[in-house]
Structure 1
Amino acid sequence: MSAGTAARFALAGLAFAGLAAAPFVVGPYVLGLLLGIAGYAVLASAWSMFSGPTRYVSLATVAFFGLGAYTVGVLSDTLPYPLVLLAAAGVGLLVAVAVGFATLRLAGAYFVVFTFGLTELIRQLVTYYEVNVTRTLGRYVFLPIGPEHIYWQLLALLAVTLLAWWWIRRSRIGLALRVIGDDEVVAAHAGIDITRTKVVLFAASAVIMTLAGAIQAPRWTYIEPSIVFNPTVSFLTVIMALLGGPNRLFGPVLGAVPLFLLFEWLSANYPNHYSIILGVLFIGIVFVFPQGVLAALEKLGRLGRGTVAP
């Protein structure tokens, strides 16, 4: 590990230590904001693990998020909390592997449409089961877990996600993913098992998303499909990752902070129009910052130093 990398890890460790201490010095409102930011930072980072190098735009984030939350709702009365989280990860893994082998041969708009449809399919199946089998629509989650405990769990999950992504980017599978993202024909001729590589990373990303939903389930106390399968979660995750830069290690985290705060402000002040504003914002980010804000800032810096022609 180089000195520069070690210094960045040290700074990141100090930042996480400071964030972990925040619940001791901030009020409930600020803690709620930090919790929301941490949750979306995990989702955006997990999304970028797969979609960044492969350039597959997935809208299935909330499908796995909701599965994690519902797993906690179903099992929290019968199993210890750590085993419930383990079960949620297993559910996310099984669904991701099945979906991955069935659909990752699709590309472009076909994959986007399918992942959006997958979310709606899972939401409808859960709703049908709840209404027709259990004769109820939602689940109560009574666990002795406060917002500060949820926040610390999300911080730990974010740290694990970033470490895993850092390792993947420097491994052979990370190189294989970048080749697949550039040209799948070239990747196939190079001897890369395209389907297996994509499924492995898609499943790893999905497990993290599922755990993010499971960890946050006690936050609501009562969950139902309209809450945990809200499509806005998927769209916000994509926008945050694109804003920060999906191929930058800390890009999705930096994109999650301003966009979550903006989302909170818009939903509070413009509840009937914030979704339209977010759609316009998404289009603007794609056209103005196609590689993310961090890449744009670096380019401006090089222009200022005269190392890149305008």
Structure 2
Amino acid sequence: MTGQGFKSLTLIGVLVIAAAFVPFVTNGYWLSIAVTAMMYIALATAWTLFSGPTHYISLATGAFFGIGGYLVATGMSDFDISFWVMAAIAPIVAVVLAALIGAATLRLSGIYFVIFTLGLAEMIRGLVSWVQNNFLGSRGLYVLTDFTEEHIYWMLLGIAATVYVIGWLIDRSKLGFAMKIIGNDEGVAKHLGINTARAKVILFMITGFFSALVGVIVAPRYSYIEPNLVFSPEISFMVVIMALLGGTQRLWGPIIGVIPFILIWETITVSFPNATTLYLGLSFLAIVYFLPNGVVGLIESLTKRGRAS
């Protein structure tokens, strides 16, 4: 382990320990915001694990998140299966779906991949709604547990920390090295003998697993689950914007993007509920024109200039 790698891992460990104490110092409204922020930190970190090194913009997060939330609700409401059993099953289903989708689409690149993943959540939501209306005979499902906001927050924190550690290990593995080459030039990676399709599918599956697991953990917070809630494309767009805002060069970049974005989002939601879509659009434009490499990229650029001078 290099000195820089050890410092990075140590810093994240300190941040995780500090974050674990948040429920002890706040409650009510601010704890609710903390849970929302931690949910998106986990999702955005999982998204960066795949899209960061490959530069593939995936809008499939909402689909995997929805699979986790909807399956746990279906298992508990319609089949009386325990939460923990469904928590183990749902992410595996997402992994299988990610493998199938990845094998079929990760040979695509650019706008074609973006368009497909954008339609994925809508396709699954429509299919789930059709099956529910025609066969299950119910409009909504319930996830009733004894979990409090504190429990959900700590579980999401654990997922976010786990994703980071896995990403840290992958970055220092042969797979991580291969993904860096793929991100720089996929053609060169193929000429070097790297199985680019397999490498991308593996990371896509890992992202799908953790996105679905977040959906499982957040489901008890919603209590009442319906397709339009958990398969919302808004989740996918928000994850992408937060990750890009923080910067995808570093796996911890999304943390920097999520916190300010969520604080502003909550303020707009309360004061100007009809302006949330406008906020998403303006945020994306601001990233494109002013922060193409995110806050992390800006900080690193300024640091290099300071050292050069």
Q: What TM-score, normalized by structure 2, do the two folds share?
A: 0.96
Q: Is the contact between residue 240 and residue 252 of structure 1 (CA under 8 Å) also seen in structure 2?
A: yes
Equivalent in the alignment of 1:116:
118
Calculate percent identity across the aligned residue pairs: 42
Instruction: Give, in whole Å, the separation in 2 of the partners of 1:14 and 1:201.
Output: 27
Deviation at 1:289, TM superposition (A): 1.3
Tell me, which stretches of 5 or more residues in structure 1 are unaligned?
none
Instruction: Give, in whole Å, the separation in 2 of the partners of 1:120 and 1:26.
Output: 37
Pick which of 108-117 and 290-299 moved more. Answer: 290-299
Instruction: Give, in whole Å, the separation in 1 of the partners of 2:111 and 2:6.
Output: 40
1:101 maps onto 2:103 in alignment: yes
Instruction: Give, in whole Å, the separation in 1 of the partners of 2:133 and 2:274.
Output: 29
Q: Quick one: which amino acid aligns to residue 207 of structure 1?
A: F
Q: Quick one: which amino acid aligns to residue 182 of structure 2?
A: I
Equivalent in the alignment of 1:39:
39
Equivalent in the alignment of 2:194:
192
Once the two structures are superposed, the pairs formed by residues 4-43 of structure 1 within 5 Å of their partners are: 4-43=4-43
Equivalent in the alignment of 2:65:
65
Q: Is the contact between residue 68 and residue 88 of structure 1 (CA under 8 Å) also seen in structure 2?
A: yes
Query: Aligned to 1:107, what secondary structure does the other structure show?
Result: coil
1:271 maps onto 2:273 in alignment: yes
Change (3 A) 1:107 1:3: closer
Q: Quick one: which amino acid aligns to residue 168 of structure 1?
A: I
Q: Quick one: which amino acid aligns to residue 67 of structure 2?
A: L
Instruction: Give, in whole Å, the separation in 1 of the partners of 2:34 and 2:5.
Output: 27
Q: Quick one: which amino acid aligns to residue 65 of structure 1?
A: F
Q: Quick one: which amino acid aligns to residue 83 of structure 2?
A: Y
Deviation at 1:80, TM superposition (A): 3.1
Give the aligned CA root-mean-square deviation in angstroms: 1.3
Instruction: Give, in whole Å, the separation in 2 of the partners of 1:21 and 1:305.
Output: 37
Q: What do the CA deviations read for 1:75-131 (whole angstroms, capped 9, x no partner)?
A: 235333332111011111111011111111111011100001111000001110111
Q: Quick one: which amino acid aligns to residue 212 of structure 1?
A: V
Instruction: Give, in whole Å, the separation in 2 of the partners of 1:121 and 1:262.
Output: 30
Q: Quick one: which amino acid aligns to residue 192 of structure 2?
A: A
Q: Is the contact between residue 85 and residue 211 of structure 1 (CA under 8 Å) also seen in structure 2?
A: yes
Choose which of 85, 88, 91 in structure 1 pairs with 2:90.
88
Instruction: Give, in whole Å, the separation in 1 of the partners of 2:76 and 2:138.
Output: 17
Q: What do the CA deviations read for 1:153-207 (whole angstroms, capped 9, x no partner)?
A: 0000001000011111111111111111122211111001111111000000110
Once the two structures are superposed, the pairs formed by residues 176-191 of structure 1 within 5 Å of their partners are: 176-191=178-193
Tell me, which stretches of 5 or more residues in structure 2 are unaligned?
none
Query: Aligned to 1:124, what secondary structure does the other structure show?
Result: helix
Deviation at 1:7, TM superposition (A): 3.5
Q: What TM-score, normalized by structure 1, do the two folds share?
A: 0.95
Deviation at 1:221, TM superposition (A): 0.7
Instruction: Give, in whole Å, the separation in 2 of the partners of 1:2 and 1:58.
Output: 31
Choose which of 242, 263, 271 in structure 1 pairs with 2:244.
242
Instruction: Give, in whole Å, the separation in 1 of the partners of 2:113 and 2:8.
Output: 36
Q: Is the contact between residue 147 and residue 219 of structure 1 (CA under 8 Å) also seen in structure 2?
A: yes
Equivalent in the alignment of 1:223:
225
Equivalent in the alignment of 2:177:
175
Query: Aligned to 1:58, what secondary structure does the other structure show?
Result: coil
Equivalent in the alignment of 1:282:
284
Once the two structures are superposed, the pairs formed by residues 193-212 of structure 1 within 5 Å of their partners are: 193-212=195-214
Q: Is the contact between residue 45 and residue 252 of structure 1 (CA under 8 Å) also seen in structure 2?
A: yes
Choose which of 130, 138, 141 in structure 2 pairs with 1:139.
141
Q: Is the contact between residue 47 and residue 61 of structure 1 (CA under 8 Å) also seen in structure 2?
A: yes
Q: Quick one: which amino acid aligns to residue 268 of structure 1?
A: V
Q: Is the contact between residue 76 and residue 143 of structure 1 (CA under 8 Å) also seen in structure 2?
A: no
Instruction: Give, in whole Å, the separation in 2 of the partners of 1:120 and 1:166.
Output: 32
Instruction: Give, in whole Å, the separation in 1 of the partners of 2:97 and 2:44.
Output: 20
Deviation at 1:4, TM superposition (A): 4.1
Q: Is the contact between residue 249 and residue 297 of structure 2 (CA under 8 Å) also seen in structure 1?
A: no
Query: Aligned to 1:273, what secondary structure does the other structure show?
Result: helix
Deviation at 1:25, TM superposition (A): 2.2
